[in-house]
Amino acid sequence: MGTLDGTVAMITGAARGLGRQHALCFAEAGADLVLVDLCADLNDTPYPLSSRQHLEDTATLCRRLGSEVLTRVADVRDQVSVDAAVAAGVEEFGRIDVLVNNAGLLGPGGRVTHELTEAEWTLVVDVNLTGAWRCCRAVLPQMVTLHGGSIVNIASTGALVAFERFSSYVASKHGLVGLTKALALEYGRHGIRVNAVCPSTIRSEQELDSRSTLGVASLLGSTLEEYESVSRNLHALPDLVNARQVAEASVWLAGRGAAGVTGTTVTVDAGFTARQIQTAFCSRSRKLRGRMSVHTVAMWARQSSLSPAKPVRFQPAGGSASASQIEYCSSSLMTTS
């Protein structure tokens, strides 16, 4: 018997990556599913977005686990589109017990704030923050009628600390945690719980067709391997978190085991925020303009107790670490769907 037997969960951004893993974990827990995704590309995003085939592939995997699944193409930037997806789910299953707001964008980004256009800023905030609000707005009336429900907002360690060159992402995720707390207060009297999950960098996984971590690496002029290596050294545990670890936290928050939990954040970050890394080091390093040697960077890593066995290493041509290569460690801990 699954922990979510008899429940219906709506998951946005469900076609691949973290969204697909959420769908699989909720299916394993016994939930029936309303899987929602845009299934189209947007201008200026740092990686291709999901297709309708990705969404149907996810649905097929969940059906094999025993779930009834409804798929809907919807744009969280459009309230009419979101309302239609929720209405279809209620018509199919009779209700929606759980909403997982997973749809999100990490960019346009990789640039300082004054270099962003208003359209680029608006796109990220409209998807990550206002899109989640629209989905909550659509499901909450029937949750109030049912006198219960659970909303899980997928935030980020970028909702708890700041990263350079991704101000729109950081602002939207901070706002999402604020929305989480406000909704928890407003709807607790109706038996509705609202929480957020804050992952750090999520390891790229081929079977989930993950793209976001590679997208961050590309924005910062790094390879996926280099980016994950640097990120790994900023965590207390020896490896990055994976999508299943994040999704299982959401399953727990959605279920009866978390019946007394609302208005809070569950941080799944392999100890990143516990280290309280001083990103000012990276900012100060810009003044050095490439004069720091690889040895110096590695020594800083060891002195900061990042990972004595795996010191941070940058290996540019000529054997010295450029300012941009050093500073990108301050922006290396974000995630999205």
From the list 169, 187, 227, 328, the catalytic residue is: 169
Give residue-wise pLDDT tens across range 71-130.
Answer: 999 999 999 999 999 999 999 999 999 999 999 998 888 889 999 999 999 999 999 999
pTM, to two decimals? 0.83
Catalytic residue list contains 328 = no
43-46, Cβ contacts within 8 angstroms, sequence gap of 24 or more: 44/107, 44/108, 44/119, 44/120, 44/123, 45/105, 45/107, 45/108, 45/215, 46/106, 46/107, 46/108, 46/109, 46/110, 46/215, 46/216, 46/218, 46/219
284-306 residues labelled b (16+ CB within 10 A) or e (exposed): ebeeeebebebeebbebbeebeb
Tokens representing 248? 């299982």
DSSP β-bridge partners for residue 193: 150
**Predicted pLDDT of residue 276:** 56
Locate the domains of the chain by residue range: 8-224+235-275, 280-331
Is the distance from CB of 98 to CB of 140 less than 8 angstroms? no
Tokens representing 290? 């490439």
The topology under which CATH files domain 8-224+235-275 is Rossmann fold (3.40.50)
Give residue-wise pLDDT tens across range 114-172.
Answer: 999 999 999 999 999 999 999 999 999 999 999 999 999 999 999 999 988 999 999 99
Give residue-wise pLDDT tens across range 264-297.
Answer: 999 999 999 987 544 434 444 444 334 333 333 3
Is the distance from CB of 196 to CB of 266 less than 8 angstroms? yes
Tokens representing 121? 């800023």
Rounded to 5 degrees, what are φ and ψ at 11?
Answer: -125, 125
Cα–Cα distance for residue pair 173/290, rounded to 1 Å: 32
Q: How high is the mean pLDDT of the chain? A: 84
**Predicted pLDDT of residue 328:** 37
**Predicted pLDDT of residue 309:** 38
